[in-house]
Amino acid sequence: MRFSHFLLLAGLSAAASPPALATAGPPPRATATVRKHLIYFTNKAGTPFSLSQPQAFLSARALARRTRQGIALKPRDLPVNPAYVAQVKAVAGVRVWYTSRWFNAAVVSCDSTTLASIRTLSCVQGAQTLNRGQNAPRHPDPETSTAPAQRPASAADYGTAFGQAQMIGAVSMHSAGFRGEGMQVAVFDAGFPGVNQMAVFAPLFQEQRIASTFNFVDKTADVYQRNDHGTLCLSTLAGNQPGTYLGTAPKATYRLFITEDINSEHPVEEANWLVAAEYADSAGVDVISSSLGYNTFDAPSTDYTYADMNGRTAIASRAAVTAARVGMLVVNSAGNEGNSGWHYITAPADADSVLTVGAVTAQREHASFSSYGPTADGRIKPNMVAQGQAAAIVYPSGAVGTGNGTSFACPIMAGMATGFWQSSPALKVQEVIRYLQSAGSQATSPDNTLGYGIPSFVTAYNLAHPNNPLASAGAAAAEPLGVYPNPSRGEELHLHLSSALRMAPALYVRIFDARGTLVRELQLNAAGTADVALPTGPLARGMYTCVVGSARTQQTVRFVRL
């Protein structure tokens, strides 16, 4: 995984508590090399499961999601035939880890001699090796995170997360009453250490909005361990500590899944992604946020080529397409390959029905590391972009800092998409994507750098509700004044004007330092635009209050110079 990247379950219960995982067969022989393999079955003939009784393998919430979107049940939804699984488990030396409804397959571990015996079974169609042994531990992409900020900053309830939320209209979305209530989001990542102890996530536990957890790498329910990449990504979504930090979907319900093992890089992690997606489906999840990507693997596993980035080859891409077809919105990071020889997006960001998210700076410009499109078959990617350079994140220590990567742009966008779908629950998955793209800053001229651009929640909502736009309800007018980048290290500042300030012929700006001393006073011409440059001149490090007024109104915003 480049942090920008597998499993299989049999018949999940309708309640969708931790998955009903297959039990182990006889222990594998210790004298031979044991690897994991994806075993494909020939068919689902003779299965005791029936499409007329889907409650045996899909939750009521999963069935309701299909019904809302007019999605018919298909044979792919049926669990693997238990008799076939039993035949595989009966082979000496095999352990069955998971099964996959969608691929009609099972993930097993065994040595090569045992695998040859499995291949002779009449119910087995073929096999694919998923890992090749142990390797030295991998570490997060150096662009994924940076050191925590030395001094915490606050901008109203959002803290340093204000700019990234404001950029895509999530602040207006929250003002309009859409913070993810009633929506379920599954987060696939490499670990969530500290989440169960951090103040920024306390409301998740106090309000019982952690619906389930599962570690598909170790086959346990414990996810509050391993790599902190998942913790950082989750903060941009679910963070909820007013005055310090707010994520883009702070009131959604979450399911946390570890699918990624940073100790090595093999297709087994894609299989974990697949099985996690099937679990999410059975549980009734609405949105999957996946800041993972696959293109190269540890030897001797075979790397993908750019030609494989066609949405139909990689295991994770095939799984993501199916996830979308059963009614889940898959939001995936584009990848951090923009400066590398690879250059392009990674899997499953290449899937045609996935909302692939690239990264921009606080100045709304392409982040150099963000992967480019198109897909190998010529489709535009990424679909959209959000802030991923100097994005505000929360570390397991509770410190608020900044990080770089499409890994952060993805969940920031996923939270807004969750709130948008909450506001328009009758939409189908592809309609959600279409409205968001139509609300992008490059909607009329998409490209393979920014896709359809930076979306606006208000624009998307008004396109979906032409007879009841937010402006008429006063929600857009409640949009607060913003400043970005915040905090800044000497970059040029910009004001994001509220609706009340945008049409004023002149704006009067006064900037005060932390002691209340007036340090700058200037006049700006808004010219009907949403964003204007704020020429502050040189400022010392510290916190400042910016008061912007017109003849009819006055608003205040704070910012930090580092």
- What's 255's domain CATH number? 3.40.50.200
- Count Cα neighbours of 357 within 13 Å in the Cβ-side half-sphere: 35
| Domain shared by 287 and 403, yes or no | yes
SS3 438: helix
User: If pLDDT is split at 50, 70 and 90, which confidence band does 562 have?
Assistant: confident
The pair phi, psi for residue 283, each rounded to 5°, is -80, -15
| Domain shared by 146 and 288, yes or no | yes
Count of H-run helices and E-run strands, the chain: 14, 22
Torsion of CA 398, 277, 299, 136, to 10 degrees: 30
Percent residues over pLDDT 90 in the chain? 69
Rounded Cα–Cα distance for residues 373 and 346 (Å): 10
SS3 134: coil
| Domain shared by 348 and 359, yes or no | yes
| Domain shared by 382 and 527, yes or no | no
| Domain shared by 407 and 543, yes or no | no
For residue 24, pLDDT over 90 is answered with no
| Domain shared by 466 and 507, yes or no | no
Least confident of 317-331, 413-427, 433-447, 489-503: 489-503
Can you say whether the dihedral through the CA atoms of 448, 453, 457, 458 is positive or negative?
negative
| Domain shared by 436 and 496, yes or no | no
* Residue 196 vs residues 203, 229, 397, 403: alpha-carbon distances, Å: 10, 15, 12, 22
- For the domain that residue 552 is a member of, what is the CATH number? 2.60.40.1930
| Domain shared by 81 and 152, yes or no | yes
| Type of residue found at 164 | Q
* Active site residue ranges: 189, 229, 407
Contact assessment for residue 99 and residue 85, using Cβ atoms and an 8 Å cutoff: yes
| Domain shared by 457 and 348, yes or no | yes
Looking at every residue in the chain, the average pLDDT score rounds to 88
User: If pLDDT is split at 50, 70 and 90, which confidence band does 3 have?
Assistant: low
Least confident of 5-19, 27-41, 48-62, 441-455: 5-19
| Domain shared by 175 and 296, yes or no | yes
For residue 207, pLDDT over 70 is answered with yes
For residue 69, pLDDT over 90 is answered with yes
Count structural domains, the chain: 2
| Domain shared by 399 and 423, yes or no | yes
Please write the tens of the pLDDT for every residue from 425-455.
999 999 999 999 999 999 999 999 999 999 9
User: If pLDDT is split at 50, 70 and 90, which confidence band does 383 have?
Assistant: very high
Please write the tens of the pLDDT for every residue from 450-474.
999 999 999 999 999 988 888 644 4
Please write the tens of the pLDDT for every residue from 402-420.
999 999 999 999 999 999 9
Torsion of CA 326, 331, 336, 342, to 10 degrees: 30
| Domain shared by 79 and 13, yes or no | yes
Can you say whether the dihedral through the CA atoms of 132, 135, 137, 141 is positive or negative?
negative
Q: Residue 6: what pLDDT?
A: 26
Q: Which of 492, 408, 97, 94 is nearest to 231 (CA)?
A: 408
User: Which structural domain range is residue 535 located in?
Assistant: 481-561
Helix H or strand E segment including 290: strand 287-290
Least confident of 6-20, 119-133, 304-318: 6-20
Rounded Cα–Cα distance for residues 468 and 470 (Å): 7
DSSP 106-126: EEEEE-HHHHHHHHTSTTEEE
